[in-house]
Copies of this chain bind each other. A is one copy, B any other.
Amino acid sequence: MTIEKKTYRSGPYQDFFTQGTLVGNVLYISGQIGIDQNGNTPASIIDQTKAAYSNLLDVLSQFGGNMDNVVDETFFVTDMDEFMSNAEAVYGAREKAYGSRPEVCQTIVEVTGLAFPELKIEIKCIAHL
């Protein structure tokens, strides 16, 4: 059985997986991390969140989408206490990324590790176009 996929690849691991795969009008997006366009990883979870959303918007825009297309988010954080202590600023950065109150559901779990030791948050989304 064959399906029509549109994909977007970017970054050093683009031989291994896509950043986004569109099938029909459903856009599956790889977990986005807080490494900025220059390859730097900011120290704070707030700045990593900003960078992750910036990367997410890059993926969405490759498919003609924007933040309004996101329907589901999973936050994988490495330190729930740190996340909760910074929740106001993290959610502030998130709302700024969306431009308004996100109409998006969300699941947050604490894991012991992400792809690189310096990462504090990874955001996995599904969008519909």
Q: How far is the CA of A51 from the CA of B24 in the complex (A)?
A: 30
* Total contacting residues, chain A, CB less than 8 A: 54
Which of B72, B109, B124 is the one whose CB lies under 8 Å from A21?
B72
Which of B1, B18, B28 is the one whose CB lies under 8 Å from A64?
B1
Known interface pairs A30-B106, A66-B1, A91-B16; A24-B111 also in contact (CB < 8 Å): no
**CB-CB < 8 A to A66: which residues of B?**
1
**CB-CB < 8 A to A64: which residues of B?**
1
Chain A residues 64 to 87 lying within 8 A of chain B, measured CB to CB, are 64-66, 68-69, 71-74, 76, 80, 84
Copies in the complex: 3
A31 to chain B, nearest CB (A): 4
Shortest Cβ-Cβ A-B pairs, 8 listed:
A110-B113, A31-B107, A17-B106, A28-B72, A30-B105, A80-B113, A23-B128, A109-B111
Interface residues of chain A, those whose CB is within 8 Å of chain B, are 1-3, 5, 7, 15-21, 23-26, 28-31, 64-66, 68-69, 71-74, 76, 80, 84, 91, 94, 101-115, 122, 124, 126, 128-129
